[in-house]
Amino acid sequence: MFRAHMSVTRIWQLIEKRMMSCISVHGKLPGLQRAVGEVRRKSSFRQSPLLTATPVRALIDEQISIKGRFLSQNYPVTVCAQMHSEEGDLWEAFAHYTTNASSSINLTSDHSVGGSYVGCEPMGLFWALEPALGSREGLRLRKRNVETPYIVKISLLEGHTSPSEGQSNELAAVTTERWYMAPGVRRIEIRQNKIVGTLFLPPGPGPFPAMLDLWGMGGGLLEYRSALFASRGFASLSVAYMGHKDLPGPPHIMSVGDSYFKSACQLLQDHCQVDADRIGVIGLSFGVIPTLRIATRIGFKPSCLICINGPVGSPLLDEDGKNKMFESDQKHWEFDDRGYVSFRNVFLPDNLPPESKQKVKNITCPLMYILGEDDLCTASTENADLIEEALRSAGKSHLFTRLSYPGAGHLIEPPYTPYARVSLWRAKPEKLFTLWGGHPAPHAAAQEDAWKRILEFMETHLRR
């Protein structure tokens, strides 16, 4: 009996050897000789090229192994990834490789020599995705429905080519699924006590440590980071605080204040599957302001804070933390030669009204500040400096951790997802595009490292 992992070619070789031994014992047997000839003919067949992705279903923050086999030696090939966003836009990335002595490629160890990225980048086909040539300007990829995956087709093409060059000879292909929500995670819509949010619970009875998840001034209800937290064992409540139809007031004004965030924290504390003594808060961009207010003003004591590229205050906040229309004051807006706007100077500490700055010296829990050194939307380095100095002056230096990433921009999100250096900020009354900053490879490296450090920080301060 042949072992299951033997190749087809090896099996044919063993059959031929057995047949030849029969011929040598019994003399010339024409039928047997014809069979041997047939074996030789079949064993000379080359197997078709094969492209594999392992695993084909994975969480968005998991690496997958992509390999091409049964090619020729020193053979130029292109590996191409394509997927459609939920809005129907085509995103793609590609990379050029040359097969090795074993007639194969392995993206985990081999180097791309051209295309969307160069060098050894096992997940480059995912983080380098960008809108296809001719797409709408200013696209940014964000998952709205976390109960469905991104479907990514990966193709192995002959020669060094690009998708924009038209028809290429496809040698092999495989389809992968990229999920934010692991099997067993529960998604619960929240519309109570005026809170607009979504709660994600890991599989099992709990109680679980939890995070309150706050996004930026773009508004709406974004769930994908919370879904991923729950997939990693943390309950997470993502809340909308502006730009949502179920919230009061105009969409571009933050009409809720401190009492709203206090209610969100209370909702988590009261939930029977949440550990009320182990709740952290994470905020990105403008979401850093309510994150800091929660820790210093509303009487709630979080176990930890994670702040990503955000300011300590805003010139538009009132005493209760509500926000006027952002575009009512454009004094510190900066436009480049294409008309794209940077909000960086708006949030320089020197440009913030003193009364709007959060009293970070009153923070009593560990705080990790993550910044991209090429952030063009917020003066992140200067705000991190201010927080660090305030805690140092209060004798609390031990509470502060800074992660600083050269070449990374504003939108530091979960790993292996494409970044946007610029995207559409508003469509009316005229289109306005905002600059986020960052460069593809260093930003991707920042997202990968920052996510790992975020999970470690949460493990340390919410589980132990």
d(CA 307, CA 427): 29
Helices and strands of the chain, counted as H and E runs:
8, 22
The single residue listed with the structure tokens 């005229």 is 430
CB atoms < 10 A from the CB of 30, how many?
7
**Beta-strand runs (E) in 232-293:** 235-239, 274-284
Type of residue at 295: A
Residue 316: strand, helix, or coil: coil
d(CA 284, CA 449): 16
Task: Assign residue 138 a region (left: φ > 0; alpha: ψ between -120 and 50; beta: otherwise).
Answer: left
d(CA 457, CA 464): 11
Residue 375 a catalytic site member? yes
The active-site residue out of 375, 423, 443, 461 is 375
**C-alpha distance from residue 317 to each of 31, 323, 328, 394 (Å):** 92, 5, 12, 25
The active-site residue out of 226, 285, 303, 380 is 285
Inter-residue contact 239 to 188 (CB < 8 Å): no
The active-site residue out of 96, 271, 410, 443 is 410
Q: How many CA atoms lie within 13 A of 27 on its CB side?
A: 0
d(CA 412, CA 356): 25
d(CA 357, CA 314): 7
CB atoms < 10 A from the CB of 354, how many?
7
Backbone angles phi, psi at 154, to 5 degrees: -110, 125
d(CA 107, CA 121): 7
Residue 285 a catalytic site member? yes
Question: Taking each helix axis from N to C terminus, what angle separates 30-43 and 8-26, rounded to the nearest 10 degrees?
Answer: 160
Residue 61 a catalytic site member? no
Inter-residue contact 312 to 360 (CB < 8 Å): yes
Q: Which residues are catalytic?
A: 285, 375, 410
